[in-house]
Amino acid sequence: MAYLVLHFCITITLCLTVGGSLLRPKNSTGIVKESVLPPPGWVRSRDAPLDHILELRIGLPQLNFHILEQHLYEISDPEHERYGMHLSKEEVEELVAPSEESINVVDKWLASHGLTQHDVSRSPAKDWVIVKVPVGVAGEMLGTSFGLWTHKASGQTAVRTLKYSLPVDVHGHVELVQPTTMFSRTTGQKTTFRWSNQQAHEDVDTESSQITLPNGIMVDASCNQTVTINCLKQLYNAVGFAPKSKQNKIGITGYLGQFANIADLQLFYADQRPDALNSSFQFISVNGGQNSQNISQAGGEANLDTQFAFGLTFPTPATFYSTAGMPPFTPDIGTTTDSNEPYTTWLDFILSHPNPPQTISTSYADDEQTVPETFARRACSGFAQLGARGVSLMFSSGDGGVGDGDPDPATQQCFSNDGRNATRFIPGFPASCPFVTAVGGTIFIPERAVSFSGGGFSNFFARPQYQDQAVQTFLRSLPKGTYAGLFNPSAFPDVSALADNFKIFFRGRSGLIGGTSAASPAFAGFVSLLNDARLSRGLPPLGFLNPFLYSRGLTGLTDITVGSNPGCGTPGFNATKGWDPVTGLGTPNFGKLKELVLL
How far is Cα 545 from Cα 552, in angstroms, rounded to an integer?
11
How far is Cα 372 from Cα 449, in angstroms, rounded to an integer?
31
The answer to whether 332 is a known catalytic residue is no
Closest CA to 313 of 223, 232, 391, 221: 232
How far is Cα 539 from Cα 533, in angstroms, rounded to an integer?
9
Is 281:319 a contact under the CB 8 Å cutoff? yes
Residues contacting 593, CB < 8 A, separation 6+: 526, 530, 553, 556, 557
* CA 198 from centre of chain: 28
CA angle 92, 98, 100 (to 5 degrees): 125
The answer to whether 517 is a known catalytic residue is yes
Closest CA to 569 of 455, 398, 401: 401
578 is in an annotated binding site: yes
580 is in an annotated binding site: yes
What is the phi/psi pair of residue 360, to 5°? Answer: -140, 135
408 is in an annotated binding site: no
Distances (CA, A) of 302 to 288, 428, 473, 530: 17, 20, 37, 23
The answer to whether 305 is a known catalytic residue is yes
How far is Cα 460 from Cα 471, in angstroms, rounded to an integer?
17
Alpha-carbon torsion (303, 308, 309, 312), positive or negative: positive
Active-site residue, selected from the candidate residues 77, 93, 127, 305: 305
Is 386:542 a contact under the CB 8 Å cutoff? no
Strand pairing partners for 122?
129
DSSP string for 204-261: S--SSSEEE-TTS-EEEGGGGT-B-HHHHHHHTT-TT-----SS--EEEEEETT-B--
Residue 492 per-residue DSSP state: E
Q: Which amino acid is at 483?
A: Y
Q: Is 359 helix (H, G, I), strand (E, B) or coil?
A: strand
Active-site residue, selected from the candidate residues 123, 517, 520, 528: 517
Active-site residue, selected from the candidate residues 175, 301, 348, 494: 301
Residue numbers annotated as active site: 301, 305, 517
Annotated binding site for Ca(2+): 559-560, 578, 580
Annotated binding site: 559-560, 578, 580
